Chains A and B, each alone.
Chain A
Amino acid sequence: MVDKKEIEHLSDLIKIEIKDPQKYILQVEQILNYFERLDKVEITTEDLLRQELTLDDLREDKFVPYGENLIEKLKNTRENFVRAPKMV
């Protein structure tokens, strides 16, 4: 089910360079095979566990200044910007 191409596709999606995809093929397949059992569980309810919050539960949407210049604490900055690699 899981082949080298699938692992390479996934590693592309998660943006992790995987040097040895072979290493992951067997393990990921084995784990997904184990997950297959979920498909066989008989569930009649459509209910999903969730915690409901009403708007009253939320705090006021108010700007609270932090008090310290956080950008200075980052490692790769120039003026007020984070330095990043070229997009193209």
Chain B
Amino acid sequence: MTLAISISQYIQKLRDGEFSSEEFIAKTLERINKVEKNLHAFISINENAIEQAKQIDKKIKAKEKIGSCFGMPISIKDNICTKGMKTTCASKMLEDFVAPYDATVVSKLKSEDAIIIGKANLDEFAMGSTTEYSYFGPSRNPWNTDYVPGGSSGGSGVSVSALECIASLGSDTGGSVRSPASFCSVVGLKPTYGLISRYGLISFANSIEQIGPLARTVEDVAFILNIIAGRDSHDNTTIENRTPDYTKDIDIGVSGKKIGIISEMVGEGVDKDVQSATKHAISTFEKLGAECIPISLDSAQHSVAAYYTLASAEASSNLARFDNLRYGFDFSVEGYEYNSYISKVRSNLGPEVTRRMLLGTFVLSAGYYGKYYQKAQKVRSLIKSQLVESFKKVDLLLAPTMPILPFKIGEKIDDPLKIYLLDINTIIANLSGIPAISVPFAMADGLPIGIQLFANSLQEKQLLQSAHALQKTTKLPEVPI
């Protein structure tokens, strides 16, 4: 039995009796046991997974109604609440937190008989682009374990790439699903803002972040999106008008489509291997019948400054709730005055979280609000309006997901601004709310390169169809671990 199969293959093989859910889960756990010491994709593993698989097998045997996931193993980023399992946000502040309820996305997956195989590692509170800021230690890239897997949903990217699950849910605030997708050679989707419920996602920057699926194929991502998309009364920012079926007509191709190549994202500052992979992707699309034209998006050069201003401001407000009183790590209140207790326990927040809270508080403070926060909001509107204009001329936009190849763990950790600038190609989707997808497309020096496509709001179907067409042309090596 191989674990390197797609969702549709999993369902087919399970139905054909080639394996049971229990056998597949057992094999997955065996795989996790084998590779985790090198990869560290997970913070915790579901100890009841085998038992849950047995229950699902029983239902299948008894010909009871069965959910569309048929007991397949899915990992969940550890900032998404799972009832009865720890949800730590990779922070000491939540190291013992067990959520009393499931996030909407998790209950939707469970109701379709998915098995939550484990909780995936991340940068503390999803703040980072490399997964090095996890309190529990970094995840490692399965293509070369000396290298970062991207982030902040690094554990999600690693677990999918290294066959420790079939699919994963991450969250994308500035590229946090697409970055690990690109660095680990898997597919990652950041959907339209409001398409997927954030209920149960521990908030970092509410106006920007979205939960998104990662899987090995575009079709698998579409399958997961079918389950988790839609309006939720628990999250008033969710929107109507989802597409009924994202997998339908996924094979339709890109013939006649117009694709804009974002000029600012393919030139200066982009690694030469990434540049040549991008050129190759453009010519592939042209061969498939699409027309590619350059599109300028000059506001994108301000996106990093606007994004980190807004995200830090929202983070500094959101993280105020972590006072270690209602939940948190073991630290007695005896002998402390209120403020000194809170300051003391919060000194356990990691350096990146502290930095963002300092920045967020600074940009919101009197005298600086107009200069930073308000200006960032206006830049955000400018980016959105330039994107709206672009989508009058083209159906999709294209750029490399990451401007550089994966790099060594520790290489950039002392230069936070350098790490922020890695998000330069992904952030525009978050600031404007449009969907974007990263597709594994090439390899250079044994390291993956992802190509990113953007579409207008709620155009996920078109986005997935085009990404699928691109992925079908690729023949990438198997993960070496």
A16-B354 in contact (CB<8A): yes
* Number of residue pairs A-B, CB distance < 8 angstroms: 146
B358-A45 in contact (CB<8A): no
What B residues does A10 contact at CB under 8 A? Answer: 358, 361-362
A76 to B96, CA, bound (A): 13
What B residues does A49 contact at CB under 8 A? Answer: 377, 380-381, 384, 431-433
A30 to B340, CA, bound (A): 29
Chain B's nearest CB lies how many Å from the CB of A36?
8
Q: Which of B16-24, B66-74, B304-312 contacts A (4 or more CB under 8 A)?
A: B304-312
B385 within 8 A of A: yes
Chain B's nearest CB lies how many Å from the CB of A53?
6
Chain A minimum-CB-distance residue to B374: A48
B326-A75 in contact (CB<8A): yes
Interface size, B (range): 35 or more
A17 within 8 A of B: yes
In B254-304, which residues have CB < 8 Å from any A CB?
299, 302, 304
B48 within 8 A of A: no
Chain A minimum-CB-distance residue to B233: A59
Pull 5 A–B residue pairs with CB atoms less than 8 Å apart, ordered by A: A15-B339, A38-B302, A45-B381, A48-B380, A76-B325
A11 to B420, CA, bound (A): 22
A61 within 8 A of B: no
Chain A's nearest CB lies how many Å from the CB of B424?
12
What A residues does B305 contact at CB under 8 A? Answer: 34-35, 37-38
In B89-121, which residues have CB < 8 Å from any A CB?
96, 98, 100
Q: Is the interface of B mostly helix, strand, loop or mixed?
A: helix
B346-A15 in contact (CB<8A): yes
What B residues does A16 contact at CB under 8 A? Answer: 343, 346-347, 349, 354, 357
Q: CB within 8 Å of A: which residues of B?
A: 96, 98, 100, 193-194, 233, 236-237, 299, 302, 304-306, 308-309, 316, 320, 325-328, 330, 333, 336-344, 346-347, 349, 351, 354-355, 357-359, 361-363, 365, 371-372, 375-382, 384-385, 416-417, 420, 431-433
What B residues does A46 contact at CB under 8 A? Answer: 378
B375-A45 in contact (CB<8A): no
Chain A's nearest CB lies how many Å from the CB of B158?
27
Chain B minimum-CB-distance residue to A19: B347
What A residues does B343 contact at CB under 8 A? Answer: 11, 15-17
In A38-88, which residues have CB < 8 Å from any B CB?
38-39, 41, 43, 45-49, 51, 53, 57-59, 66, 68, 70, 73-76, 82-88
B346-A48 in contact (CB<8A): no
Chain B's nearest CB lies how many Å from the CB of A8?
11
Q: Which among A15, A28, A88 has the greatest number of chain B C-beta atoms within 10 A?
A: A15
B382-A45 in contact (CB<8A): yes
A6 to B361, CA, bound (A): 11
Extra inter-chain contacts (5) besides given A38-B372, A51-B237, CB under 8 Å: A17-B347, A19-B347, A34-B305, A38-B305, A75-B330
A83 to B340, CA, bound (A): 15
What B residues does A22 contact at CB under 8 A? Answer: none
B302-A28 in contact (CB<8A): no
A75-B96 in contact (CB<8A): yes
What B residues does A48 contact at CB under 8 A? Answer: 377-378, 380-381
User: A39-B371, A74-B327, A85-B333 given as contacts; is B236 within 8 A of A14 (CB)?
Assistant: no
A35 to B362, CA, bound (A): 12
Chain A minimum-CB-distance residue to B375: A38
Q: Which among A10, A35, A76 has the greatest number of chain B C-beta atoms within 10 A?
A: A35
Chain B minimum-CB-distance residue to A71: B326
Q: Give per-residue flags for A3-38: 1 if the beta carbon is below 8 A from chain B beta carbons, else 0.
A: 000110011011111110001100110111011011
B338-A85 in contact (CB<8A): yes
A31-B326 in contact (CB<8A): no
User: A18-B347, A31-B420, A75-B327 given as contacts; is B385 within 8 A of A45 (CB)?
Assistant: yes
Closest 5 CB pairs of A and B: A17-B347, A85-B341, A17-B343, A85-B336, A85-B333
A48 to B431, CA, bound (A): 12
